[in-house]
Structure 1
């Protein structure tokens, strides 16, 4: 993996912020985009811009071929059996809401259980809260271990014969915890429950095989994996998707419309009402081509090298708290003693270093950690050890500044 060559593919990295070379450490929020993705969007709008599926003219055919070609790229990327299982959405949030509404509300009733964890992003909490309220089902949480992981014993004790849905993140966006999805899927299926995986922090960083994971639904966003914003994917088990009612109604997803009734198209189009996110899907296809060229295993290995280096450097500092387990994905969430994380992020930004600060759309987890907010540095295929050194220097300056203030 030629890190220098990879960085050259990301034009945004070649700039100064506040008089310093940019160090971008916020890829868990959104990743940067390589030239090939930017060019794919430009080509579509310059040469192929047209609606898909509906027209027989040349532009419409080219746009449709690229749009459906992107679906096949996604299928291969996650090893789905068929493109009928690949539904384009606005992102992970829409994908999870689709399952919560179209599957959850149709299959849950009073006395049923939905099992999630306290580490979930709000996008994998609120839809299930609403589904529980609408159906009378009960929301249950697998408890966390002290390091922010979950034990299979606790999972087995929480998932019962009354459990109908287990919804869990593949990777925590705060702790970096990588959850044992395959084993939890086995526990869920033992009780005839379905498992819904929030893959927003998984798909960009590791090889995904939905068949090997044996998950029933897997949701992820393009913008965290070098693709444009506003495009995502819902993978679903074909038999489940076929029996689900659409989430949105309108053009494109219909078969026949009569005055008082309508029928739906076959999968996957019955879940893609209206003009789809054509450019976004094409951009996602280009991003997958780029990631495949680099190699997902290479990306995982690189991130592990960078996060290990960062952990070693940060642990050498006094007055810092690092949250999450020892074994983690490529992110570190932390706080400096007596410094609000927003102040930390502001000082770092003055040094040209972009990190995230706040509750990270995980307020229940913040309460479990007994903090109101944290700072987070997240790494991707274009980050270097020099980026980590700049982060450490910036944090030392932050400590020095606020030490002088107080």
Structure 2
């Protein structure tokens, strides 16, 4: 069982764990508003009163609203933590300890729990008390500095890459912690933060600076050390092509009907191609622009050269290779019963699955549903109407 004490930053981190069978989630709200986590308002688009952003990061989760500033609320959280395997929180260091919900407090009542604290900048240091958001951490960590067009302004990545990377690091650390607990019977404390996670993802960019003192640059869609490896404009779109070795470069030249480039002394090795990047890319770009994307896809098929179109969302989810290519929407029929627990509101939810295509499987095991689907249950606040959706992949019905 997994419990989460979070509003925004840890939401992406726990979706993977809950998808593997973490069947209960705990979220808190700011007592003064009772509005739930901030992602509810991050739209448009909205489904009813909920943002699709909220639905995406809160999949696979059940929820209760708890006032953590009330001793009765703290008691509820401790009771839940005592029967959990994993406890995840994303508060500024020290805040939960002041409320009696820090690692030492939980360890005292549940020494088996793997306690994961996800912060912006870690437990100590001059930035530790700052709130952490993805874009800010992306800026401080250098990711934004290396993202964007050559000679252009820094650009925020299209999705929250720092949040997602931190989630994967936290996921791996938690799984390792559970293995250790299996061997020793004892839980542990995990410190995971946005800044350290993203700096770790700088890989060769960091090595270039630390070893050779080479400052990083922005390359747009291109690669700083491999040429050609970037997006090329076609007659109706864009195609990304990469040639990581001389053989692949020769194949690209043959497909583009530019065989004279293969033995050209300026392009015979990758090192030379990097040195003469601008001239070579100008030649290749002119050739790519004469045909449609689908034509180039046909020409590159079976060539052994890495290639692919730049897809919009419509094409992404229409891609036959993608497991969501035949996705559908189903609905969960919810029965909600409210019971008073220490003046808090708790929801007991039972559900059945309904597929417009296969009614015979509507009573499938709950464990399979939790593990295979994107299970969205609205964070029900008192006096609110229940609104729920469940988006699932076609593989669920097989």
Which band: TM-score by shorter chain? under 0.3
| Length-normalised TM-score, structure 2 | 0.24
Structure ranking higher on relative contact order (CA contacts 8 Å, 6+ apart)? 1
| Length-normalised TM-score, structure 1 | 0.24
Greater Rg, structure 1 or structure 2? 2
Question: Which one has the bigger helix percentage?
Answer: 1
